[in-house]
A and B are shown apart, each in its own frame.
Chain A
């Protein structure tokens, strides 16, 4: 079943068709690799699907009923959709622990006004930070972390995110989570993604390293100039001539 679909979704930046009436779907419980040369529209697609930028045309379908024309970023979380950014976005002036605790906030603000963080929130934050190897750094300010640690913290935050029912998120977008990471850190991210799959979560992974793509992905979607170039099983897609050409031709 496709948990998230686009129908002719489009975005252009004065003249550049970054995403060009694209119709694709993401299978529930699978890891889908989203690949394509630089500038092919991968990050733009994620931005559209997470409400960070406005959709110019087309629709998004979440689950099997809701057709959405306009996504608001703060509502995305309620749909169970969460993401990391290619250029890491953190709460720089907040401690590592608070960067995770803040997403465990009830979204109804009146309910949260005098509510303090409960034991189970702290326990959840601890669990997540241990998973990404940052528990020791919990009292550091985010801005003082190294590049790799920042990426891991963002991934930790994504793991802590909750959907509108207060459960873990369902759909995870990772925009080049491995870029610039040391091998030990890569292992952590691989294990995070594999765990998510085990829990039946849907993962969309943007990545340029084809070894990682082969290792992790169940399905591949290849974009080129904002259009769908190829899609299917990784071993099939990666041997297609058009795909190779798109990569070599960049």
Chain B
């Protein structure tokens, strides 16, 4: 019984982290219409920014978090402005986008490694050192905060998209870029703001992972892969689908390794991905 509770807790926490990555990824995929494989590295940008401000400069941890989120957002925004906006103007093929995104990822990872070494790092302080018991499972304070933040982001995003004019414009751009232009929406401006928002969310996810387990320059790639798998399971481009896929993936991974070694986690995720690609490529929630 206890082990099941613990597995549930672990699954939910994994789902919460994945859902943040997936939300940002889907948002960008929806508006800019390409698979941004470079997106994951922004988690590392957020994480290392906090590491830099809190450990190397000795700033207050909460201030460091705010700065980390903003810097991740800003870097995402700049990448879009400097790189992807040009590709759009040139009507680049999806292959060009793919290679470029991989280039961006490699570049940022390399810069982080040069500045901070590729060693695993931890933050100097934590935001909540308590642990709590839930139904016999143990959840750390950081994990609890992660869960709460991911839920807040999810609802915040849904409200933003549903009720604000910005949200309507984002939906319009996701639906049809050409029509959006003709009705007067500055699509480049919307897309760059979406990049800021999505990247800031990735940064925050990276920071939370940092508090939970620590950071390394390549942390983004596995998070991105999980985000992509969750998006595909849930239905690519669909916000609710992405969240559903994230939690489902969290559960499948953690219950999958119940009786076997934890090394199997990634193999299980990819097996699930392949099953979905073969039998339900449109995902759970995507309407055809």
Contacts and interface: CB of A to CB of B under 8 A. Distances in A.
Interface string A31-72: 000000000000000000011100000000000000000001
Contacts of A78: 184
Interface in A192-215: none
Interface residues of B, number: 24
Contacts of B172: 91, 94, 102
Given A94-B171, A113-B164, A107 B178 contact: no
B186 A92 contact: no
Given A115-B164, A116-B163, A117-B165, A109 B186 contact: yes
A9 interface: no
A73 B193 contact: no
B164 A91 contact: no
Interface of A: 50-52, 72-74, 76-78, 82-83, 89-94, 98, 101-107, 109, 112-117, 157, 161-162
Contacts, number: 93
Interface string B147-182: 000000000000000011110110110111011111
A51 B176 CA distance: 16
24 contacts: A52-B178, A73-B182, A74-B184, A78-B184, A83-B182, A89-B179, A89-B182, A91-B171, A91-B172, A93-B174, A94-B171, A94-B175, A98-B168, A102-B169, A102-B185, A105-B165, A105-B168, A107-B184, A107-B186, A109-B186, A112-B166, A113-B164, A115-B166, A117-B168
Contacts of A113: 164, 166, 193
B184 A77 contact: yes
Contacts of B176: 89-92
B184 A103 contact: yes
A91 B185 contact: no
Interface in B187-204: 187, 189-190, 193
Contacts of A112: 164-166, 169
B164 A114 contact: yes
B48 to A, nearest CB: 28
A215 to B, nearest CB: 28
B171 A98 contact: yes
Contact of B169 (A73, A89, A105, A161): A105
A96 B114 CA distance: 52
Contacts of A109: 166, 169, 186, 189-190, 193
B183 interface: yes
Given A52-B182, A107-B186, A102 B168 contact: yes
